[in-house]
Chain A
């Protein structure tokens, strides 16, 4: 009987096995990389309706974060300021700037500005700003150096694993509460000791249980 399969088909078996291994590991790597928040979320930098520059306000002018994000110390949410806050200065400063047209409209028509959320945790994660601020976790730890950002972008993964990293070992990220909003604060050489001390004095035991964030 005539051969229906040429000789090279002998390599099909091992070839297929090899391909399968490559495909599976390649696929895993693909998802590991492209479906991870470090790829999907970090660097998210939506265009905002008003070209507000944190670099100018928080960096160059040195306005404290809490001037606008007033509720950050005592509420779960660090609020986005009402138009009123903008108008506190901009009734006097840059009254005619074209960039501020939307803000003035909002003030005049009593209609809210609509910002696009950059740092967005899922709704089933109940994050509370105040408790982190009062524990001495700097803004910069999660938001990056906002004072250097012309347009705000997400710098950290904000994934659950990332949160847990710090909850398991908060010491490297602790600083005196007075320095929380200070973007230029540099961790001292003995951060390990200071972190331990801060943790002990403030009795910081970040929850690692599900109930810490989910309810």
Chain B
């Protein structure tokens, strides 16, 4: 290991040299010049940040001396301006992002050929115009200077041509022996072109093996539907139609597949405009505390291993109510007492055809089969859940990985191609993948980083980012779309389709041609060119979704399956249970190189830059540990040390750990962050395992949490009520704080004229998914500050997602609250600024003038919401030229010593106003969406002109749930909140 680290360091240094080399190529040179006419010095990566700051300080001082007269600036116009490009005016292109075995349809904002901001595609069913934190963070990943930049053989730099020639030789050889000894270990994909090429590969090499593996997958779900229906189906949930939802440890609002659409549907069914509206009810049983758990009306925590027993008991309870769940008669039933199981059963039985059981991907196939059977029995299939067969898709097969490794060890694999995968990191350590790989003669790694795997293979080929590639995708519901490049490959990489084309055909074809070929095959006849243009423009092909089916559960098959895979076996095994959860930010570790995501606070624990062992309070007590104490987790002879985090509401006797951390090939951002929990996994473990031994180590590991205090201290901050209470007291939110009418002794400024911007945040919709935070970071050039700074309370996010617990520490309720600048009409920050750097404008915005700010920080002290962020260091100055390309040119990049905060995306407001003015009209509702609002999957944020009675925001502000946070201070915030409503089952008594 240590040797590898050493190598990497050297590589780190190499990288800068290679950037210099790259910078010498005419294209790159031109590109940089066009973007950065002034240029800036390169710096050596081995310098510490401190040293760098020092140097920047020096150059600043020199700039001060030299700037008696301003510096000369160059204008470098195009030689020939591309027709559609207007300097300074962004363009928007539709594309799609492949992810797992599905994809997201997106629209990307491009400034002079430089993608700066990603939004969801309103036309695309996978995003409906919204997005997620991971999607938003892709621009940063694209411009990551740590990305792989060269073809490597061993540690030697080779050219792409070298690799092509090499492969062609191998190709001919394998063609002769039909691919014997050739194996591909691929990441998941869902793409007509990749699928077409894979078929070609299979045809050319019938004896070769193509295996797909990813650490996080819906494998169990497919196995479950196969057991229930006899066919591998993908469930597609229609949450908007479900009135009673039960989640069997499914975090369908955030970490499960298709979460954006799920969240949208769920929020729609939960939306109440008046106290007369109906809303859905969510029950959840889970071990760890998930985002979905935070949004539940009833949540019960118990080990993942007991979820199956719960489901079976539920089926029996339903059977007793006359709802006959197929395959469950005669199955063993756990004698465990589940708190509200009977009430749940009655609730479900009373909502036939409008209820929904969703099981999480960590649960074994039997639970999914049972969930399908219950849905069938309740008549939900075809109403709230539909099924489809997937095609053009390659899904994970973890059993196959075992046999591949066995073959590698036996020497029957002579060439192994790792296609977009990183098995050395994410295969279960029990398999000993790295050792097995060493026995393979030729290993080829194709990925976007020289990651753990790429450092050990014979060949490494850099993979293009999807924003640089031609490709196509099928989303979760099967809608096909095109991936079009927003920029030429920055680092001379090749796209997935190009690499697959080379592997399958033995010759290099441009991605564009490969994709067009696929689509031409599909669209025989008619005017292909115009259809192609339309699809390219829209980003998707209309009506291309998979055919939805409503299959029936096969009674005999499922009952046998349940007998063979008993669900009630968790008791009896000794030790604790360990649950492997995909990280809401880093997913399976592929985004560990992304600083935005690393610094993004975990939706529940609010931790950044680390993964931890989540323990229940009771377990922590019995182990004698507190937060940040390191424990050793031992499972089947393998061990890992992780710091402890006590998670209220965590199931007893179970430990949740998150994947994606402990990377060793994630370079300056991701290396050494957290621990790699794959080391504990065994090949049979998909979601959880028992027999874990936890021992306390005598050391601590500092953790950076963005919210230290968990209680609202009884203050009326997040105001919530049950639906029943709401109906009795429709104005409960406003009445939560009693004070006399607040009157000013001065004449108050009138805001009756012109545009008056305001916002509402619907706490009832907000699920706490963090999408807004990264959207804001991307739009507003918010820097990454690093773990040390976050730990010191200096995170820079302009929008934050507060999380409070209430109730019992073992079983708390959780609320989320988005806090951004409230744009107070009587803003306390403004009066105290000695230099007028923060002022009110005529449209009610609290504006911040960076260039005027001297940094007294008084405004931050005086802000009751503490939404102001201060540049304690010069966070933005050490960006390399490549990293600078992520910056939004419409927003000032802030320097050290200035205060900053949410501006309601004033750049978007200005653009819309100018656009309207130039066209001689007024800004109309919907012209302006703030970045957070646009990203929000559940439409929790509404922005607009509150002077316009017809605007959405005005209407929402008239809801009786509307309240202003800390209104008793009479600061008159323009951002108001709509209170949260829960809908608990009145037959269930609170503990």
Which residues of A approach B to under 8 Å, CB–CB?
Answer: 40-41, 46, 71, 73-77, 79-84, 106-107, 110-117, 120, 122-124, 126, 128, 130-131, 134-135, 202, 205, 207, 209-212, 214-215
Decide if A114 touches B74 in the complex (CB within 8 Å): yes
Decide if A83 touches B73 in the complex (CB within 8 Å): no
Could you name 10 residue pairs across A and B whose Cβ atoms are closer than 8 Å?
A71-B86, A77-B87, A79-B81, A83-B79, A84-B78, A112-B34, A113-B77, A114-B75, A116-B73, A130-B914
Instruction: Kindly state the separation between the CA atoms of A75 and B87 in the bound complex, as whole angstroms.
Output: 8
8 Å CB contact of B72 from A77, A116, A122, A130: A116
Interface flag for B452 (CB, 8 Å)? no
Q: How far is the CB of B776 from chain A (nearest CB, A)?
A: 14
Query: B76: which A residues are within 8 A, CB to CB?
Result: 112-115
8 Å CB contact of A124 from B70, B87, B892: B892
Decide if B77 touches A122 in the complex (CB within 8 Å): no
Instruction: Kindly state the separation between the CA atoms of A106 and B80 in the bound complex, as whole angstroms.
Output: 10
Instruction: Kindly state the separation between the CA atoms of A77 and B910 in the bound complex, as whole angstroms.
Output: 15
Query: Which residue of B has the minimal Cβ distance to A83?
Result: B79
Query: A41: which B residues are within 8 A, CB to CB?
Result: 70
Interface flag for B28 (CB, 8 Å)? no
Decide if B33 touches A112 in the complex (CB within 8 Å): yes
Interface flag for B839 (CB, 8 Å)? yes
Query: B88: which A residues are within 8 A, CB to CB?
Result: 71, 75-77
Interface residues of B in 837-855 (CB under 8 A from A): 839-843, 845, 847, 849-852
Total count of chain B residues near the partner, CB < 8 A = 44
Interface flag for B917 (CB, 8 Å)? yes
Decide if B87 touches A131 in the complex (CB within 8 Å): no
Of listed A81, A202, A214, residue having the most chain B CB within 10 A: A214
Interface residues of B in 42-73 (CB under 8 A from A): 68-70, 72-73
**A75-B87, A207-B842 known; A131-B79 Cβ under 8 A:** no
**A111-B79, A124-B851, A209-B839 known; A74-B86 Cβ under 8 A:** yes
**A77-B88, A210-B841 known; A215-B910 Cβ under 8 A:** yes
Decide if B845 touches A83 in the complex (CB within 8 Å): no
Query: Which residue of A has the minimal Cβ distance to B893?
Result: A123
Instruction: Kindly state the separation between the CA atoms of A214 and B851 in the bound complex, as whole angstroms.
Output: 8
Instruction: Kindly state the separation between the CA atoms of A101 and B906 in the bound complex, as whole angstroms.
Output: 45
Interface flag for B716 (CB, 8 Å)? no
Query: B583: which A residues are within 8 A, CB to CB?
Result: none
Query: A73: which B residues are within 8 A, CB to CB?
Result: 918
Query: B891: which A residues are within 8 A, CB to CB?
Result: 215
Decide if B849 touches A117 in the complex (CB within 8 Å): no
Decide if B850 touches A124 in the complex (CB within 8 Å): yes
Decide if A214 touches B847 in the complex (CB within 8 Å): yes
Decide if B74 touches A115 in the complex (CB within 8 Å): yes
Seed contacts A115-B76, A124-B850; 4 additional CB < 8 Å A-B pairs: A107-B79, A117-B75, A131-B917, A215-B906
Query: B72: which A residues are within 8 A, CB to CB?
Result: 46, 116-117
Instruction: Kindly state the separation between the CA atoms of A82 and B82 in the bound complex, as whole angstroms.
Output: 10
Interface residues of B in 820-867 (CB under 8 A from A): 839-843, 845, 847, 849-852
Decide if B77 touches A82 in the complex (CB within 8 Å): yes
Instruction: Kindly state the separation between the CA atoms of A113 and B34 in the bound complex, as whole angstroms.
Output: 11
Query: B988: which A residues are within 8 A, CB to CB?
Result: none
B785-828 vs A, CB cutoff 8 Å, 1 = contact: the mask equals: 00000000000000000000000000000000000000000000
Query: A128: which B residues are within 8 A, CB to CB?
Result: 910, 914
Decide if B87 touches A79 in the complex (CB within 8 Å): yes
Q: How far is the CB of A64 from chain B (nearest CB, A)?
A: 18
Query: Which residue of A has the minimal Cβ distance to B89?
Result: A75
Decide if B77 touches A211 in the complex (CB within 8 Å): no
**A210-B847, A211-B906, A215-B906 known; A79-B842 Cβ under 8 A:** no
Instruction: Kindly state the separation between the CA atoms of A134 and B34 in the bound complex, as whole angstroms.
Output: 29
Interface flag for B890 (CB, 8 Å)? yes
User: Is chain A's binding surface mostly helix, strand, loop or mixed?
Assistant: loop
Instruction: Kindly state the separation between the CA atoms of A207 and B850 in the bound complex, as whole angstroms.
Output: 18
Of listed A46, A81, A114, residue having the most chain B CB within 10 A: A114
Interface flag for B907 (CB, 8 Å)? yes
Q: How far is the CB of A174 from chain B (nearest CB, A)?
A: 14
Decide if A209 touches B74 in the complex (CB within 8 Å): no
Which residues of B approach A to under 8 Å, CB–CB?
Answer: 30, 33-34, 37, 68-70, 72-81, 86-89, 754, 839-843, 845, 847, 849-852, 890-892, 903, 906-907, 910, 914, 917-918, 920
Query: B917: which A residues are within 8 A, CB to CB?
Result: 131, 134-135
Query: Which residue of A has the minimal Cβ distance to B906?
Result: A215
Query: A114: which B residues are within 8 A, CB to CB?
Result: 37, 74-76
Query: B79: which A residues are within 8 A, CB to CB?
Result: 82-84, 106-107, 110-112
Query: A83: which B residues are within 8 A, CB to CB?
Result: 77-80
Decide if B70 touches A120 in the complex (CB within 8 Å): yes
Q: How far is the CB of B520 from chain A (nearest CB, A)?
A: 32
**A40-B70, A116-B72 known; A74-B918 Cβ under 8 A:** yes
Query: B910: which A residues are within 8 A, CB to CB?
Result: 126, 128, 211, 215
Instruction: Kindly state the separation between the CA atoms of A202 and B919 in the bound complex, as whole angstroms.
Output: 11
Query: A205: which B residues are within 8 A, CB to CB?
Result: 754
Query: Which residue of A has the minimal Cβ distance to B851?
Result: A124
**A75-B86, A112-B34, A131-B914 known; A207-B841 Cβ under 8 A:** yes
Query: Which residue of A has the minimal Cβ distance to B780?
Result: A215
Query: Which residue of A has the minimal Cβ distance to B907?
Result: A215
Query: Which residue of A has the minimal Cβ distance to B914?
Result: A131
8 Å CB contact of A84 from B37, B80, B839, B892: B80
Query: B839: which A residues are within 8 A, CB to CB?
Result: 209-210
Query: B847: which A residues are within 8 A, CB to CB?
Result: 209-211, 214-215
Instruction: Kindly state the separation between the CA atoms of A115 and B78 in the bound complex, as whole angstroms.
Output: 12
Q: How far is the CB of B299 from chain A (nearest CB, A)?
A: 43
Q: How far is the CB of A148 from chain B (nearest CB, A)?
A: 22
Q: How far is the CB of A186 from chain B (nearest CB, A)?
A: 27
Query: B78: which A residues are within 8 A, CB to CB?
Result: 82-84, 112
Query: A77: which B residues are within 8 A, CB to CB?
Result: 87-88
Query: B852: which A residues are within 8 A, CB to CB?
Result: 210, 214
Query: A210: which B residues are within 8 A, CB to CB?
Result: 839, 841, 847, 849, 852
Query: Which residue of A has the minimal Cβ distance to B908?
Result: A215
Decide if B918 touches A130 in the complex (CB within 8 Å): yes
Of listed A40, A73, A122, A124, residue having the most chain B CB within 10 A: A124
Query: A40: which B residues are within 8 A, CB to CB?
Result: 68-70
Query: A124: which B residues are within 8 A, CB to CB?
Result: 850-851, 892
Instruction: Kindly state the separation between the CA atoms of A213 and B845 in the bound complex, as whole angstroms.
Output: 14
Instruction: Kindly state the separation between the CA atoms of A115 and B851 in the bound complex, as whole angstroms.
Output: 27
Which 4 A-B pairs give the minimum distances between C-beta atoms? Answer: A209-B841, A82-B78, A211-B847, A117-B73
8 Å CB contact of A115 from B30, B69, B70, B75: B75
Decide if B80 touches A82 in the complex (CB within 8 Å): yes
Decide if A123 touches B892 in the complex (CB within 8 Å): yes
Query: A134: which B residues are within 8 A, CB to CB?
Result: 917-918
Decide if B77 touches A81 in the complex (CB within 8 Å): yes
Query: Which residue of A has the minimal Cβ distance to B892?
Result: A124
Instruction: Kindly state the separation between the CA atoms of A49 and B73 in the bound complex, as whole angstroms.
Output: 13
Query: B850: which A residues are within 8 A, CB to CB?
Result: 124, 214
Q: How far is the CB of A154 from chain B (nearest CB, A)?
A: 11
Of listed A46, A113, A116, A215, residue having the most chain B CB within 10 A: A215
Q: How far is the CB of B224 from chain A (nearest CB, A)?
A: 51
Query: A214: which B residues are within 8 A, CB to CB?
Result: 847, 849-852, 892
Decide if A80 touches B75 in the complex (CB within 8 Å): yes
Query: Which residue of A has the minimal Cβ distance to B842?
Result: A209
Q: How far is the CB of A84 from chain B (nearest CB, A)?
A: 4
Instruction: Kindly state the separation between the CA atoms of A109 and B464 in the bound complex, as whole angstroms.
Output: 29
Query: A212: which B residues are within 8 A, CB to CB?
Result: 841
Q: How far is the CB of A173 from chain B (nearest CB, A)?
A: 17
Decide if A116 touches B841 in the complex (CB within 8 Å): no
Instruction: Kindly state the separation between the CA atoms of A40 and B74 in the bound complex, as whole angstroms.
Output: 18
8 Å CB contact of A116 from B69, B74, B890: B74
Decide if A112 touches B86 in the complex (CB within 8 Å): no
Query: Which residue of A has the minimal Cβ distance to B894?
Result: A124
Q: How far is the CB of B912 from chain A (nearest CB, A)?
A: 12
Query: Which residue of B has the minimal Cβ distance to A112?
Result: B76
